[in-house]
């Protein structure tokens, strides 16, 4: 990550409100600035690649209609329409709102190979994706509540 406040790199991100891809600046901030903007738990999870304990996050059992956004930069990430109860204790989704809004990295931590899910705009650690989800995608995006904010439908 670049240590300058902004590197002015433009990327395309899908906006749910606009219903289209829009050009936005990547968000790159030094760790000290993220610490000022985020709670200690958000910083630990989203910026330091931590995880919250199962069943402890504020969104694992939320069933309201709306959009889950990146807690760091506000990018639209997941829709409540794609949320399902995986029984794992973390919010789980079949798919992101658009493939442009997330990116993936290989994660070899804890002695296993997993696919990490990151916010495409600010590189926040969101969680992991697995291929054991329900139809139609067969995917389970297992995401930390601490990496998300929630915008209720109509807000």
Catalytic residues: 142
* Spatial distance between the Cα atoms of 54 and 82, rounded to a whole number of angstroms: 20
Q: What are phi and psi of 22, to 5 degrees?
A: -130, 145
Q: Which token pair is 19?
A: 């219903």
Which residue(s) pair with 109 in the sheet?
none
Expressed in percent and rounded to 5, the helix, strand and coil fractions of the chain are 15, 35, 50
Q: Could you tell me if residue 89 is left (phi over 0), alpha (psi between -120 and 50 degrees) or otherwise beta?
A: left
Q: Where are the alpha helices (DSSP H) in 11-132?
A: 31-37, 40-42
Q: Of 75, 105, 106, 88, whose CA–CA distance to 143 is shortest?
A: 88
């Amino acid at each position: 990550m670049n240590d300058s406040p902004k590197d002015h790199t433009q990327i395309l991100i899908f906006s749910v409100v606009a219903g289209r891809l829009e050009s936005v600046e990547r968000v790159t901030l030094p760790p000290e600035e993220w610490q000022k903007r985020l709670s200690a738990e958000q910083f630990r999870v989203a910026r330091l690649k931590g995880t919250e304990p199962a069943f402890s996050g504020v969104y694992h059992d939320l069933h309201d209609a709306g959009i889950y956004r990146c807690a760091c930069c506000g990018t639209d990430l997941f829709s409540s329409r794609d949320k399902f109860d995986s029984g794992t204790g973390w919010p789980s989704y079949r798919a992101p709102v658009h493939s442009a809004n997330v990116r993936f990295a290989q994660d070899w931590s804890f002695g296993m190979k997993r696919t990490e899910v990151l916010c495409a705009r600010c590189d926040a650690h969101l969680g992991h994706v697995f291929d054991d989800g329900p139809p139609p995608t067969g995917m389970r995006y297992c995401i930390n509540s601490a990496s998300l904010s929630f915008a209720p439908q109509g807000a």
